[in-house]
Amino acid sequence: MIRAFLGLEMPEEVRFELSLIQPRLPLPLAVEIDDLHLTLAFLGEQPEPVLEDLHFALESLEAPPFALRLLGTGIFGGDKPRAVWAGVSPEPALGALQAKVANCARRMGITVAGGRFVPHVTLARARGRLTADEAAALSAGLQATAGFATAPFAVTEFALFSSNPRRKGPRYDVLMRYPLTGG
């Protein structure tokens, strides 16, 4: 069984920009710079033959390349933060790609986790309830990074990732890349 997801790798220059704001958003489990990504569809634990079938289906998926821009920061979890993230400027082509890859996975019999697609790049996760000082530092960091924005960058492919659990947070490995070449 392989814990897997479909997503977008962040270009090196975007990962660098994210690395500059990450320390200002203090949650205990920072995502390692090389693992920063945007999840399109979480697939959960899948047998290798199912992922092989998905791979062949994804090879024929057509979607055009597009530009994307990260914009702003926020948290999931409200008063009990679970994760801090960098947001994504609205881009219809991203939503269309997400719908296509999720539908492709469903056609292979995979239950795609999650509800409404909220595109983001997770920067760090919490381990539990924050102390008052941690919550205050996080609030200040969110205010300081609210204007965060990257220059638009080209999205020319998406990838199938494996998610490998570790004590300090999962490690993500690209299993296969799929170019965006059509409409």
The pLDDT score that the predictor gives to residue 179 is: 96
Residue type, 124: A
Delineate the domains of the chain, giving CATH numbers in brackets. 2-179 (3.90.1140.10)
Q: Where are the beta strands (DSSP E) in the chain?
A: 2-9, 29-30, 37-46, 66-68, 70-76, 83-88, 120-125, 153-155, 157-164, 171-179
Whose tokens are 């994804």? That residue is 58
Element housing 16 (H / E): helix 12-21
Element housing 49 (H / E): helix 48-59
The pLDDT score that the predictor gives to residue 183 is: 59
Is-catalytic flag, 55? Answer: no
Among candidate residues 2, 15, 17, 37, the one labeled active-site is 37
Among candidate residues 35, 120, 122, 159, the one labeled active-site is 120
Is-catalytic flag, 120? Answer: yes
pLDDT per residue of the chain (183 residues) written in tens, 0 to 9: 999 999 999 999 999 999 999 998 887 788 899 999 999 999 999 999 999 999 999 999 999 999 999 999 999 887 788 889 999 999 999 999 999 999 999 999 999 876 788 999 999 888 777 778 888 888 899 999 999 999 999 999 999 999 888 776 678 999 999 999 865
